[in-house]
C-alpha cells in the first residue's frame, strides 16, 4: 500500500484546485474541494491502487471491473458531471439523462481538470493538456449539451489564450452573470 504517496498526490491536487478556485473567487469550493478523497472509502482504495502517473480509480476498475472509490466520489462532489445524471422527466420517463450544471460547478470542474493535468504531466504540462485529455474521452461523456459547450469553450480558451486570460474571464464575466 502506498498511503503516503497517495496522500501527497491528492493533497497536491487539492491545493492546485484550491489555488485556481481562489483566483476566480470560488473560495468555499476551493477549500472544500475533494474532501471525500480523505474518507476511508476513497483513501484506502486510492492507496491500494496508487501508481503515481494516473488515477488509482482506473487501476481499481481494471482489477475488479468497477471503481468503488469513484462511485463514492462522484456522488458527493458537485463538480463532476456524473453527479448531475438523474432520471429524465422528458422524452422517455425513467431514462437516465444529464442535467445542466450550475456555472460555479462547471468552473470548479474546469479547475479540477487543469490541476489533474498539472499533477500527472508535471514539468511537461502545457495549457493545451486539459483540452487534449478531455477530447480523448468526450464522445463517451453523458454531459448536458450546455454544460459541455461551456466546458469545451473554457478548455479551448485555456489552450489558446492561457491561464491569465481564461481565469479572468471566468471571474469577471462567467461567474458575475
Q: Mean pLDDT score of the chain, rounded to an integer?
A: 94
Look at the chain and count its residues. Answer: 177
Number of domains in the chain: 1
- In the numeric block, the cell 502545457 is attached to 126
Q: Which of 11-15, 49-53, 129-133, 146-150 has the lowest mean pLDDT?
A: 49-53
62: its cell numbers: 481494471
Domain of 25 in residue numbering reads as: 3-174
Sign for the CA dihedral angle at 176, 174, 75, 53 comes to negative
Q: pLDDT per residue over 32-78, tens digit each?
A: 999 999 999 999 999 999 998 888 999 999 999 999 999 999 999 99
Segment (H or E) for 160: helix 145-161
Segment (H or E) for 105: helix 103-121
Contact 88, 96 (CB under 8 A): yes
> Which pLDDT does position 141 carry in this prediction?
80
> Which pLDDT does position 91 carry in this prediction?
65
Q: pLDDT per residue over 82-109, tens digit each?
A: 999 998 877 666 788 999 999 999 999 9
pTM of the full structure: 0.93
Q: Which of 17-21, 22-26, 35-39, 133-137 has the lowest mean pLDDT?
A: 133-137
pLDDT greater than 70 at residue 169: yes
Amino acid at each position: 500500500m502506498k498511503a503516503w504517496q497517495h496522500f501527497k498526490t491528492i493533497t497536491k491536487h487539492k491545493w492546485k484546485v484550491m489555488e485556481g478556485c481562489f483566483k476566480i473567487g470560488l473560495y468555499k469550493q476551493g477549500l472544500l474541494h475533494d474532501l471525500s478523497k480523505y474518507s476511508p472509502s476513497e483513501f484506502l482504495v486510492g492507496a491500494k491502487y496508487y501508481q503515481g502517473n494516473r488515477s488509482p480509480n482506473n487501476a481499481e476498475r481494471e482489477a475488479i471491473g468497477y471503481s468503488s472509490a469513484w462511485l463514492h466520489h462522484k456522488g458527493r462532489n458537485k463538480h463532476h458531471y456524473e453527479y448531475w445524471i438523474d432520471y429524465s422527466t422528458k422524452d422517455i420517463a425513467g431514462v437516465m439523462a444529464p442535467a445542466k450544471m450550475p456555472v460555479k460547478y462547471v468552473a470548479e470542474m474546469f479547475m479540477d481538470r487543469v490541476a489533474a493535468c498539472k499533477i500527472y504531466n508535471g514539468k511537461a504540462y502545457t495549457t493545451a493538456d486539459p483540452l487534449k485529455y478531455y477530447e480523448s474521452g468526450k464522445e463517451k461523456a453523458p454531459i448536458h449539451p450546455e454544460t459541455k459547450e461551456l466546458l469545451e469553450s473554457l478548455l479551448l480558451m485555456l489552450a489558446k489564450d492561457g491561464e491569465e486570460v481564461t481565469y479572468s474571464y471566468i471571474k469577471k464575466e462567467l461567474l458575475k452573470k
